[in-house]
Structure 1
C-alpha cells in the first residue's frame, strides 16, 4: 500500500476520532446534565429530537468513518504496511472500533427504546431515569475511549513524522 494512502487514513482517523470524542464529551458534559435537570417528559422529548437530528450524513461520515479508519489501521498493522501501523496505532484503532461497537450495542438500543415511549407515559414510569443513567454511563465510556484513541493516533503519527 502506498505510504501516502496510509498517511491519509491516519489523518482522517485523528480528525474523525477527535471530532467524535468532542461530540461524546459535549453530551456527557453539557447536554445530558441539562436534560437531567428538566422535567421528564420535556427532557425525553428533547432527547428524541436530538436522536433524530444527529442521524445525518456528516455525523455518519465521522461515526462510521472513524470505525472504518480503525479497521483499516488494524489491517495496516497486521500486514506491516510501511512506517505507520505500529502497535500504538493498533491500540488506538481497537479502542475506536470498541467505541463504535459499544454505541451499536448499548446506546442505539436505548435510543430506540426512548423513541418508542409515549411522552405522556414518561412521568408515570422510570423509563427516562433508566435511559439517562445507562445511556450516560455508556456515553462516558465511549467519550474516554475516543479521547485516548485520538491521543494514541497522534502519538503514532508524530512518531512517524519525526
Structure 2
C-alpha cells in the first residue's frame, strides 16, 4: 500500500490528495478496550491490521481507514454511523444487510462513501466481508485482506490515471 500511495503522490501534481503514513500499531490492551466498548469481537484480519497500524488516514484518496481511536467513538465514526442510519431499507434488503449489525471501518471525509463489516455479537472472530456503501452497495469484498488488496489496486489505478492526465496536458 505504501508503494501504491507513493505512486499516487508522484503523479498528484495538483495536490488533490492528502498523503499520510499509517499510525503506529495498536496494543493488545487497546484492542481489548475496543472489543469491550463495541460488545463483540473484531474480525481476525482487521485485528491483524490494527496490530500493524492503528488506522491509516487518507489511505485511499480521502478515505480514512479507522483505527481504535475511531472505533472507540469519534466524529468520523459518528458520521459513518449516521450514513448507516440513512440507508434506505430497500438498499439494505437488496444487499442482504441488517443495519444494526454493521460496523463502519473506513469512510470518506468528503463524500457518502464508507465501508462496513457485518458483525455478529457472540460469534468467534473470523474473516468477515467488507462492503463499500454509498447510498447503496457499491462493491463487496470477501474479507478484510481482499478489501485491502482492492484498495491497493484502486490506488495504483489512481496513479495511472494521474500519470496519463499529466502526460496529456504536457505537465
Would the TM-score normalized by the shorter structure come out above 0.5? no
Larger relative contact order, structure 1 or 2 (CA cutoff 8 Å, min sep 6) = 1
TM-score under structure 1 length normalisation = 0.35
In our comparison, the structure showing a higher alpha carbon Rg is 1
Q: Higher helix fraction: Structure 1 or Structure 2?
A: 1
TM-score under structure 2 length normalisation = 0.33
Q: Higher strand fraction: Structure 1 or Structure 2?
A: 2
